Structures are given as C-alpha cells and as structure tokens.
Amino acid sequence: MKFSERLHQKLQPIWRQNHAHPFVKEMGEGTLDKEAFRFFMVQDYLYLIEYSKLFALGAVKAENVQQMETFASLLHSTMNEEMALHRQYAKKFDITHDELENAQPSPITLAYTRYMLYEAQNGTIAELVAALLPCMWSYWEIGKELNEIPGAAKHDLYGEWIQMYSSEEFGQLATWCIDLLDQAAEGKSEPELYKLEEIFLNTTRYEFMFWDMAYYQQMWPMDQSFDGKKR
C-alpha cells in the first residue's frame, strides 16, 4: 500500500470531521454567513502567503530537477491561480488593497503557518510534504464533494470557490503533492514514517481549527485597542 493510502485510511475519522464542519456544510448549502466567509478569505490570503514559502523551501530541498520543477509549478500556481481567486473575492467584498496588506493573522493562522514552516525548515523533504499535503488534499476532496450538491457550484458567492477547488487543475496540484510524499517516503523506516504521520495528523487538525476560526471569526481575545496597522 502506498504511504499516502495508509495515511488516508488511518486518519479517515478526523478527515471526515473536516468535511462535516458547519463552515464547509453551509458553504455547500449556500447558507454560510457572508461575514464568516469574508473573514475566512482574508485569513486564507495570509495563510497562502506563508504556505507558498513551503513550496519555495521544497525547491531548495528537492532531491532532483524534476522535483524542483514540481515545487516551482506549485509555487507559481498557488501565487497566481489560487490567490487570484482571493483577489477576485476581495473585490466582491470591497476589501481594499490596504486592508489585505495590513491584515493581521488570527492566532490559528499564525500557529498553523508557523508550525508548517517550522517542519519545512527543519525537516526532511518528506516532512515538508507531510506538512503541506492535508491542505491541498482536503480542499480538493471538499471541493469535489461540494460540487456534487446540485446548484452549489453556481451559487453567487460560494460557487467560484467550489469551482476552483474541484477543478482538474487543482486536482493536478494535489496529485503532485501525493506523489511527492509517496516518493519521499519510499525506503523510510517505521519510526520515520511515524513522524510523517504525526505531522500529517497535526496539519489535518489545524485544517479543522482553521474552519472553526473562520466560522466564529476568532481573533485575539483581548487587544481590540491595537489595530495592528503598520505605522
């Protein structure tokens, strides 16, 4: 069995909780609070900036030119295609360039991105990919699942999101990451594979917390007087 299949099987119960999160469900039904989605889009934009750096680090740690090309393509697609979706939504929501530039990460955005960056910077290429794979893979699965709901992909607000993440292009990126992990896990010992599982589990957990953070629009609890603007 491929390592990715083993992970997928083992973590099914936790994986399912991500799909069942009210944010995801309500996006599919078209009933999600607009403000929660706006909050999500801003935080996800900040998330993707840091996430892109994992691909850059992947290119540095790549073990051959072909892997390097894959990471370069992933970096390019994330910054130019996936983030284009966020810029488009920003226009729809009247989120100005200034607001996006000055936006501050929520505690979960900060914790999640820094955790991934820590593993990417300090770990092997396999650990780097284990950290980023749940992101790509779960969004692709969620996109496809929501796309099955009649009318969901045509929804005024959430339709474009569903179209993006259920697209073949996005599926291709997710497949590349799955293949990268299977390649990198080849020949590894059980303790090393266990470490990969642990990282994959942690970012899967963070995925759930990211939905939760957006659904409840959670920022820091006590510093409303600090607006975070760069002066």
Query: Which spans of this chain sit near ligand HMH (rule: CB under 6 A)?
Result: 44, 47-48, 82, 135-136, 139, 207, 210
Written as one letter, the residue type at 47 is Y
> ∠ CA 118-14-207 to the nearest 5 degrees?
40
| Gyration radius of the chain's alpha carbons | 17
219 φ, ψ (degrees, to nearest 5)? -110, -170
Residues 157/26, Cβ–Cβ less than 8 Å = no
Which residue in the list 119, 127, 141, 207 is annotated as catalytic? 207
Tokens of 65: 């030119």
Q: Which residue number, 44 or 127, has a Cβ lying nearer to ligand HMH? A: 44
| Residue 189: CB minimum distance to ligand HMH, A | 29
Q: Which residue number, 82 or 119, has a Cβ lying nearer to ligand HMH? A: 82
Residue 119: which of 6, 206, 212 has the closest Cα? 206
| Residue 170: CB minimum distance to ligand HMH, A | 8
| Residue 137: CB minimum distance to ligand HMH, A | 9
User: By Cβ distance, which residue is nearest to ligand HMH?
Assistant: 135
Q: How many residues does the chain have?
A: 231
Q: Which residue number, 126 or 213, has a Cβ lying nearer to ligand HMH? A: 213
| Residue 54: CB minimum distance to ligand HMH, A | 11
* Catalytic site includes residue 198: no
Q: Which residue number, 167 or 188, has a Cβ lying nearer to ligand HMH? A: 167
| Residue 223: CB minimum distance to ligand HMH, A | 23
Q: Which residue number, 47 or 71, has a Cβ lying nearer to ligand HMH? A: 47
Distance CA 29, CA 99 (A): 29
Written as one letter, the residue type at 46 is L
Helix (H, G, I), strand (E, B) or coil at 148: coil
Distance CA 26, CA 20 (A): 10
Q: Which residues contact 229 (CB under 8 A, 6 or more apart)?
A: 102
Distance CA 42, CA 146 (A): 22
Catalytically active residues, by annotation: 207
